[in-house]
Chain A
Amino acid sequence: MITALAIVRTPNLFVAVMLSGVFSLLLAANFFILDSPDVALTEAAVGAGISTVLFLGALSLTAEHERAGSANRFAALTVVTATSLVVIYATLDKPPMGDPNAPVHQHVAPWYLKNTPELIDVPNIVTAVLASFRGYDTLGEVFVVFTAGIGVLFLLGANPGKPAQPSRTPALDSTKGLRHYLIPRVVGRLLVPFIVLFGLYVQFHGDYGPGGGFQAGAIIAAGIILFALIEGEDQALRVLPQRALMGLMVSGALLYGSVGVAGILLGGNFLDYSVLGSNPVAGQHIGILLIEIGVGLTVTGVLLSVFFAFAIRGKS
């Protein structure tokens, strides 16, 4: 909370962005304490890692300092105070924290907890609910992410047709990225493969432990962004051209959709995985694995495309 106040107060936007990274990390720790390792993993990878990088990318394209003055400060304070009083008044008849009899815990959640073992047989109930019981929602969310990615590419211009750098010489000039700083470069290079490997572990272990497509996509994207920061964007784009990233985005969303259609073709409902395998539970396993891969591909593709869109914009 103190961090949050400091973020709003500081006029230096760079400091504000860094503090919001700290804020996200603290929030992630908080989520973990509240028994949500899946959410904590996502928040740490997305909030503390990727959103900080994206804000910094935007800052490098705009101004670092905020001009003084906020015109209607008193009006805003009045509205805020009034609203917070209303919100706090509304909390007075809420159940206390951790109350097992709270209304939230009475609706469909007990059904999920009880039936996951026999219907889906995946230890991580969060994954089961995400990918199977509420597969429609997740499909929709993947498409929202996908649309946002397309939107950024439209706004900032992607130019997938042309290679980012016409010169074919390997990027040996030492001014790109952080190449001329020895320690970040060595440590970063050591870390990148492990981050990507961890991302893959999170992707495929999502059925059993905390993890899944969303987290894995964010972690892999963070690893590749680290690589891009160390070696310069050109080098990273040579390894992973934008066309390939767009391919990732599209194929992830398509994979998810086609798993749903495959369910129909095999005689079930849309996104009904039970018909995919020899028995319903095996089918569920295959379905969850496939759509998690789809989610992971789309998230990685979108986050990286957005990052490169900002990075390339800064160059030209």
Chain B
Amino acid sequence: MELLGLYHYWVFAVLLMIGFYAVMAKLNLIKKLIGLSMFQAAVFLLYITMSKVDGGTAPIIQNGAENQLFSNPLPQVLILTAIVVGISTTALGLGIVVRIKEEYGSIEEHEILEVDRQ
């Protein structure tokens, strides 16, 4: 039972590693970016699972309800903004990829390196 309570960390770890693998092993730049955003998503998941409290509810105060147990609002705030910042940086990355494609005619890492060597 002790170990079963930790399974969400392993989901996080596996997701994180899938993203990490995509960043390292794939040569396609867009695939790398998708991997990077998956890595991000795994971190978001970790934070949100940390904010969960057993028997708690969403941190919105309701009139007339006494002694409610709320989930932790702080990780939620952090991740909320991190998602939007994440999409902006991804957009920046995609912009760079598009420029690379225009300059080198390819978005595959090894082909770009070959052009550079010439």
Chain B residues lying within 8 Å of A13, measured Cβ to Cβ, are 28, 30-31
**Total residue contacts A-B, CB cutoff 8 A:** 283
Judged by DSSP, the binding face of B is: helix
**Chain A positions 209-232 with a Cβ under 8 Å from a chain B Cβ:** 209-210, 212, 214-215, 217-218
- A: interface residue count bin: 35 or more
B16 to chain A, nearest CB (A): 7
A46 to B33, CA, bound (A): 16
Q: How far is the CA of A130 from the CA of B77 in the complex (A)?
A: 6
Distance in angstroms from A298 CB to nearest chain B CB is 10
Interface mask (B50-83 → A, CB under 8 Å = 1, otherwise 0): 1111111111111000000111111111011101
Assess the B31–A80 pair: CB atoms within 8 A: no
Given contacts A59-B30, A108-B74, contact A83 B17 (CB under 8 A): yes
Write the A126-162 contact mask toward B (1 if CB under 8 angstroms, else 0): 1011100010011001001100110110011000000
- Give CA–CA (A16, B28) in the complex, Å: 12
Q: Do A1 and B14 touch across chains, with their CB atoms under 8 A apart?
A: yes
Q: Which residue of A lies closest to B75 (CB)?
A: A104
Q: Which of A55-95 contact B (CB under 8 A)?
A: 55, 57-59, 61-63, 66-67, 69-73, 75-77, 79-81, 83-84, 87-88, 91-92, 94
Q: Is A97 an interface residue (CB 8 A)?
A: yes
Interface centre among B28, B84, B97 (most CB of A within 10 A): B84
Say yes or no: A96 contacts B25, CB within 8 Å.
no
Residues in B whose Cβ lies below 8 Å from that of A75? 24
Q: Among A57, A71, A138, A148, point to the contact of B92 (Cβ < 8 A).
A: A148
B residues within 8 Å of A by Cβ?
Answer: 2, 5-11, 13-22, 24-28, 30-31, 33-35, 37-38, 41, 44-45, 48-62, 69-77, 79-81, 83-92, 94-99, 101, 106-108, 110-111
Q: Other CB < 8 Å A-B pairs besides A84-B14, A152-B94, 8 of them? A: A20-B34, A51-B90, A80-B24, A88-B10, A144-B89, A145-B85, A149-B91, A310-B98
* 30 residue pairs from A and B, CB less than 8 Å apart: A5-B18, A8-B18, A13-B31, A27-B44, A31-B44, A31-B45, A35-B53, A46-B83, A51-B37, A54-B94, A55-B30, A58-B97, A62-B30, A62-B98, A66-B31, A67-B28, A81-B17, A84-B13, A94-B6, A124-B59, A126-B73, A126-B80, A130-B80, A141-B81, A148-B91, A149-B91, A155-B95, A214-B83, A214-B84, A215-B80
